[in-house]
Structure 1
């Protein structure tokens, strides 16, 4: 009982502190400590029994494990974004879009760019780094509030693309290992849900931005530091898209051979292309590399902090009990699977982490009960993309704070509406369609 209270309190405290502006590293370590204490987990190795877990070791295992796995992707992603900005490529592409589509489509351009890269196989973390410079230019030219950029980035990356059939994102690929399916599993229902989320979400985002503008909000700039381009002629807009095209093409051509490290190659080539395009601004590039490197360290440590919290949470009796409860929900198995994956992803703050924990436990039982693997695959993928986007989610923290230089108080409202509420509606629709048809 105390463990359950502590787990809920720890998660609530993490969300509260994050929303109040407390640094995520402090918020995560304090919240994880509360979870450990209320579950009887020793605080340090000297106080733990032989072979028993302890708070410090578990937290740092999650923290350093994520850092080791993703540091180079974060580093090159951040540098790529800064070089795109300093070279003028981001401004050029943005002005081209504004001239062709008009300022009223600035939000659509950002969402579409994120969707194209995400469905093209670029990691959602890298998508945010890559598109942010163009988003700033678009929102500046259209005089739209900067605080809605995180919502546009997140909506285009983690809603109707990340968990859809055919997406090469890990959230759509994890079920393959446990269910023997393909990335296109449940594609008919997935297509219906994706179209609904894309249209509804875009209309909702536009209305939120429109209300803010009507209330007198304008573009006010980021709170964080980013490299400003020297004045001068911009590169040709078509040429400015070359680095993004190179990233997308290089990743997809080498993904089978290099796995996630294809991102390292792709971003490295994209950065070289951006450097070549912005050669006239070469004096700004050392600063761009420095700001990018600093931003990468901030971004990945923010995410590592949340991963550490999830690692500690998994040690508690309450987490194991909650896992047992949600996997034993009566009724249609797809409903139980949807709830199980949704809850676990919410507790861990990770779509991929939640699926990895849940699927080995629920997949065998549901398959034995006659559930069609493709349907279970799609439900699990969609379920992973809802409560994982609570304020403590690593991608949310990184996008709002490290990439966009915003605060949760200013930016999370639209993000939460589009990445929590909307995907939950899509999940319900998908389960309903699978049950009916």
Structure 2
């Protein structure tokens, strides 16, 4: 009954999340529902306060700085006009004849530099609409192009990306954002190459069938870019994030004396290895934020409002993800979970395949890359690390596979980012989801398979 309760709880989580009920409500209720099936009625309140809330709070303690700084950086890039300037600059250089490639690259550069995918969608959509209209490319391809540039290679594959999905494995495996860089670049090229080629071929096919941009009177009015910063000035904070993240992770922080971490007030850690990846991103984002504020000092209409909106914008995403982590921790504490754990671990003797399956399934169920990966690593990360050590597999390879697996099945139809993107573009699942699915589920899955195969054969590189 315990295992059946877990499966019912997971099914309800996926269905009710798709129906729009917030995970902050769903996660504790459905975790406790699974507990009821296990027959431990007397444990309801202790489990909620001592297991669920403790795990939720622990996640917030660990990752809140990244959510806060990431949201603040994205809001500053948006309100300063930098995000629009970068997108418009790329479009101007490539022209309407390469409209799809221009949108993918614009989104890719912005998200690789740490700009929130929601900010990117809002900034790029008006440009994409104008560009696709000029080239007479069907509008329903726009969400696929934005999703390819924002939800795939720059989120999980490319080394150094400050995306939270690339930071979550750090404390579990003692890695940093540049884990397995060669494999990450190969995977990124596969996603980018296949996605761009497929969208372009779909555009040709639809146009040959007589479908053009269409009549969309609700499209945004084309914006005036005369008051935005220049392209290279707008790009500078992004270069700072990437460059400083690398220098801190590879050159500066590994050489510091971190013996003080052994003290109880610092967690009693043996070294700083599990923290360096997070510290590096914090320094990089904080430095870029200061640079943005100073660089655009005269552009701010209301800097206090921008900062406050950015800070408030970090709250719901981290609380949603933390609630999912609390849910996963409760599920992992139940006796019925042993059956599921052994089933997942027994999928393959190769821990990379087992890890990829576990993260994919949980990301698909929760509709969240960060939530699914956090649950998987919280419940099974230690076992994967032990199995990998026994098999001689690098922790960096575990990191890259976990990050990439989180970005495959997360974008099923109930995913919040997918729903938001379609709302921004004023399109429906029926019109555009196919183009999102192929680019964010099918091609990333292919890239993940290639990375697992190469990693198994040649190790991490």
In the superposition, the TM-score normalised over structure 2's length comes to 0.70
CA distance in 1, matches of 2:318, 2:280: 19
1:185-200 to structure 2, matched below 5 A, reads: 193-200=187-194
Q: Please tell me whether the aligned partners of residues 323 and 340 of structure 1 are also in contact (alpha carbons under 8 angstroms).
A: no
Which stretch of the first structure deviates more once superposed, 407-416 or 91-100? 407-416
Q: Please tell me whether the aligned partners of residues 125 and 425 of structure 2 are also in contact (alpha carbons under 8 angstroms).
A: no
CA distance in 2, matches of 1:153, 1:89: 18
Identify the residue that residue 380 of structure 2 maps to in structure 1. 358
Q: Please tell me whether the aligned partners of residues 144 and 436 of structure 2 are also in contact (alpha carbons under 8 angstroms).
A: yes
1:142-221 to structure 2, matched below 5 A, reads: 142=131, 152=145, 155-156=148-149, 159-161=152-154, 163-164=156-157, 166=159, 193-205=187-199, 214=212, 216=214, 218=216, 220=218
CA distance in 2, matches of 1:264, 1:333: 30
Report how far residue 200 of structure 1 moved: 1.6
Structure 1 unmatched ranges of 5 or more: 223-227
RMSD between superposed Cα atoms in Å: 4.6
2:51 corresponds to 1:23 = no
CA distance in 1, matches of 2:246, 2:313: 26
How many residue pairs get aligned? The number is 417
Match of 1:386 among 387, 394, 408: 408
C-alpha spacing 1:351/1:219, structure 2 compared with 1 (3 Å): farther
Match of 2:334 among 296, 309, 316: 316
Identify the residue that residue 346 of structure 2 maps to in structure 1. 328
Q: Please tell me whether the aligned partners of residues 295 and 402 of structure 1 are also in contact (alpha carbons under 8 angstroms).
A: no
Identify the residue that residue 249 of structure 1 maps to in structure 2. 243
Identify the residue that residue 3 of structure 2 maps to in structure 1. 4
C-alpha spacing 1:358/1:80, structure 2 compared with 1 (3 Å): same
Kindly provide the CA deviation profile for residues 309-366 of structure 1, in whole angstroms up to 9, marking residues without a partner as x.
Answer: 2222222233221111222246777655654554466567422542454343245456
CA distance in 2, matches of 1:417, 1:306: 26
Q: Please tell me whether the aligned partners of residues 160 and 198 of structure 1 are also in contact (alpha carbons under 8 angstroms).
A: yes
Match of 1:93 among 67, 71, 86: 86
CA distance in 1, matches of 2:245, 2:188: 24
Identify the residue that residue 135 of structure 1 maps to in structure 2. 124
Q: Please tell me whether the aligned partners of residues 172 and 183 of structure 1 are also in contact (alpha carbons under 8 angstroms).
A: yes
Match of 2:416 among 369, 376, 397: 397
CA distance in 1, matches of 2:142, 2:320: 19
CA distance in 1, matches of 2:39, 2:194: 46
Match of 1:112 among 105, 108, 112: 105
Identify the residue that residue 59 of structure 2 maps to in structure 1. 66
CA distance in 2, matches of 1:354, 1:106: 38
Kindly provide the CA deviation profile for residues 1-50 of structure 1, in whole angstroms up to 9, marking residues without a partner as x.
Answer: x22222222222222222222233233344333323223354xxxx439x
